[in-house]
Structure 1
Amino acid sequence: MTQGKGNRAPRWKWIAPVLALGVVFAALHVWLNTNLFAGDDLCGGLVSAARADSVLSGGGRISDGGGQDGRTGEAWEFSCTVESSSFLPGAGKGHLRISGTHERGDFAFTDGRWPTPATVSFFSGPVTGGVGRDHGWVLLPVGCAKTAPAIIEGYAPQGSDPTALAGLLTDVANRAAERAGCAPERPLTAPGTLPAAPAAQKVPADAVCGIEGLAFPGPVAGRKAARQTVQERTGPTWACEVSGHASFAVTREPRVLEAITSSPGFGEQPRIAGLRVSGFDRRHVVADCSGTPTYFSMEPGPTYTAALESPDTPSPGAVFADFVATAGKSFGCSATTP
């Protein structure tokens, strides 16, 4: 019996260190690979770690590095990078870039860093915004910006859940508005679901972008190889892209129209398709259609631009006028007398 009891001591000598090492590794795993015991506020309190984690969805610890950058401006203006990191084998880093910034009111329908409108899921109501494959935005509440309209913008990894990104940006907008003292009585509410982006399809012979009578934006010979991405007309914003040729958009969303008409540089433009219009230039205009302000835009594509010298290629002005005339019929737009 004494000998048996004596054999237990050496066994415990190696079991205890193994247990202790296991506790250390477990603690390191929790600290390095999860957000347990970490604070929820990032970027100076403007970004929720839980919301960011729902977008990154790759596991790991969420952090904001040094927090906000040194940008100055209005209280809601900021820029910050949030990332998830993990030491688990095969785990990579995920990044979110979030900022509060000024933009021209029709930024979402212009060339530049913004996704093609036809690929964006737009939403309006308690909050107005749009989310693409890896990029989204929401408008800040009225009164937050003193000059140009204000937005919260976010870049996310491709394949991120668009509804989660919309929720994150809406939450950031509420926090930024609170900080700036321009929050509405009721907080902005993120959409519960978002419409899926449509798939590209062949351009039919009778209705480019689903609009009867709309001419093909380019040489007739290029129509057969072109593809179009057309959104359904289920909301106040509609868009279509004819690959390489042109991107069209129409919106009657009240907050977007308010942002457009209050932007610097917005003013009266020459008539288009017999309509009195105001806007920023000849391809980004607002018309009064049966008493409702209606915005029309067109962005030429590289294939169309390269073919402008071809004799059967209509000019950008002619294409846009044709678009306003044909699309405008379904919105009650009609030419007015001088």
Structure 2
Amino acid sequence: MAIRTQGTRPGRAAAVLAAAVALAGCAGLLTWWNTDALGPDRFCAGALASSEAASALPGPGRMVQQSLQDGSDPYYSFSCKVQRTNKFLNHEQPRLEAELSFDKADFAWTGSALWKDAASFSYFVGGATGAASETQAWVLLPVGCPGAARPNSKESQVPVLKVNLAEGRSTPAALARVAMSGARHVADGLGCTDAGVLKDPARTQGPAGAPQPTDPANACGIPGFRLPEAALVKGKAEQGTEHTTGKQSRTRVCSLDLKGSGAPRIDFAVSDDPVLTQGVRQDKAATRERGRTVTTCKDGDLYLGMSLNDAYSDLLLDEGMDKASQARTALFEAFADAVTAERGCGTPKS
């Protein structure tokens, strides 16, 4: 018995050691698969710090760069995707997509299918021109970047860094940091000389509280702004509630949700941000009749924009082409006249 007992001790020690090594290996794999330990410091050709990506991609799993396009062949372009991966979860993990896009300077509140509910965004205060929500962010680049001139690009289009978060939510502040980092990287690639406009914002200004009933005499908090009768349809589109962003940002947006089936809505935007106004001025079609313009005020240029959602547009069209045209014109004129009167501007014109 003594011989058998002595002979088994080395075997037991080896088994314990092997088990410990196996456990350590499993722990290492779990750490590797489920955290960002020993991961890269930056993603997207240096455009995005891992700490910024991590704050925008909450949850378990390891961050992995899924794709990257960053080059000039023959014109500068940029797109990148970073995603959380997890060996133990079956559902889709959060994915961050950042890209350089060429669009109208006021794309975010002029009826774009991918950018909705503009009044729910948090707009930058100080620094760059942009906005962020829990799932999206954008930053306008300076007008006149040499690399932005492309044979097939339209005069009305300006470079924009856009960020979308799929399968999850983050914070506006986290997505704003990602968008700013990407915007500076893209500005360098485009050869922008006026990089000073891409300073980090001091903060972001979100919606000014919960939606409130619309004041018939002061819609969107603008003194004297009344919705014209031509824009209302009894029982289908009547005075409802409004949702407005705060006053600290140079860009303010108000969404009017009308009472009626299908949730008809009108979005109004006002901005004296020079990056935005210069970008809109590049678009020769930005006329008063189209619901967007830049007018000159005592303190500089002022942008005025209006867009109708599909439900409201369809409702007006059901009343007839003349009714729809009259309603759009009356709406924008009432809005523009009230804003310019409040700010001491001349007659709105592009």
Q: TM-score, normalised by structure 1?
A: 0.83
Q: Is the 8 A contact 2:44 2:65 kept in 1?
A: yes
Looking at structure 2, the residues matched to 213 and 141 of structure 1 have their Cα atoms a distance apart, in angstroms, of 35
Instruction: Find the counterpart in structure 2 of residue 177 from structure 1.
Output: 187
Looking at structure 2, the residues matched to 90 and 115 of structure 1 have their Cα atoms a distance apart, in angstroms, of 30
Q: Is the 8 A contact 1:42 1:67 kept in 2?
A: no
Change (3 A) 1:301 1:62: same
Instruction: Find the counterpart in structure 2 of residue 292 from structure 1.
Output: 300
Change (3 A) 1:231 1:177: closer
Q: Is the 8 A contact 1:286 1:295 kept in 2?
A: yes
Looking at structure 1, the residues matched to 236 and 19 of structure 2 have their Cα atoms a distance apart, in angstroms, of 71
Looking at structure 1, the residues matched to 247 and 139 of structure 2 have their Cα atoms a distance apart, in angstroms, of 21
Higher mean C-alpha deviation, range 137-146 or range 237-246: 137-146
Tell me the CA shift for residue 229 of structure 1: 0.6
**Aligned AA for 1:121?**
S
Q: Is the 8 A contact 1:153 1:169 kept in 2?
A: yes
Q: Is the 8 A contact 2:130 2:137 kept in 1?
A: yes
SS state of the match for residue 209, structure 1?
Answer: helix
Instruction: Find the counterpart in structure 2 of residue 215 from structure 1.
Output: 226
Looking at structure 2, the residues matched to 23 and 138 of structure 1 have their Cα atoms a distance apart, in angstroms, of 45
- Establish whether residue 24 from structure 1 lines up as the match of residue 30 from structure 2: no
Change (3 A) 1:178 1:111: same
In the TM superposition, what whole-angstrom CA distance separates every residue of 1:65-93 from its partner, at most 9, and x where no partner exists?
24338995533x22222111122458751
Calculate the aligned-residue CA RMSD, in Å. 3.0
Matches within 5 A, 1:30-179: 30-68=31-69, 72=73, 74-75=75-76, 77-88=77-88, 92-112=92-112, 113-144=114-145, 145-146=148-149, 148-157=157-166, 158-179=168-189
Q: Is the 8 A contact 1:133 1:159 kept in 2?
A: yes
**Aligned AA for 1:296?**
L
Change (3 A) 1:103 1:303: closer
Q: Is the 8 A contact 1:163 1:191 kept in 2?
A: no
Looking at structure 2, the residues matched to 185 and 320 of structure 1 have their Cα atoms a distance apart, in angstroms, of 34
Alignment coverage as a number of residue pairs:
323
In the TM superposition, what whole-angstrom CA distance separates every residue of 1:161-215 from its partner, at most 9, and x where no partner exists?
1111111111112222334443657694333532232422222343221223322
Tell me the CA shift for residue 220 of structure 1: 5.3
Matches within 5 A, 1:269-284: 269=287, 282-284=290-292
Change (3 A) 1:46 1:228: same
Q: Which structure has more helix as a fraction of its residues?
A: 2
Looking at structure 2, the residues matched to 192 and 93 of structure 1 have their Cα atoms a distance apart, in angstroms, of 31
**Aligned AA for 1:155?**
N
Matches within 5 A, 1:166-315: 166-182=176-192, 188-191=198-201, 193-198=203-208, 199-216=210-227, 217-219=231-233, 221=235, 226-243=240-257, 244-263=264-283, 265-266=284-285, 269=287, 282-308=290-316, 309=319, 315=327
**Aligned AA for 2:187?**
A
Looking at structure 2, the residues matched to 258 and 187 of structure 1 have their Cα atoms a distance apart, in angstroms, of 13
Looking at structure 2, the residues matched to 187 and 30 of structure 1 have their Cα atoms a distance apart, in angstroms, of 41
Higher mean C-alpha deviation, range 317-326 or range 31-40: 31-40
Q: TM-score, normalised by structure 2?
A: 0.80
Q: Is the 8 A contact 1:206 1:212 kept in 2?
A: yes
**Structure 1 segments unaligned to the other structure (5+ residues):** 273-280
**Aligned AA for 1:202?**
P
Change (3 A) 1:187 1:40: farther
Looking at structure 1, the residues matched to 202 and 240 of structure 2 have their Cα atoms a distance apart, in angstroms, of 34
Counting aligned pairs with the same residue, the percent is 25
Q: Is the 8 A contact 2:52 2:177 kept in 1?
A: yes
Q: Is the 8 A contact 1:53 1:62 kept in 2?
A: yes
Instruction: Find the counterpart in structure 2 of residue 334 from structure 1.
Output: 346
Tell me the CA shift for residue 2 of structure 1: 6.3
Looking at structure 2, the residues matched to 192 and 2 of structure 1 have their Cα atoms a distance apart, in angstroms, of 77
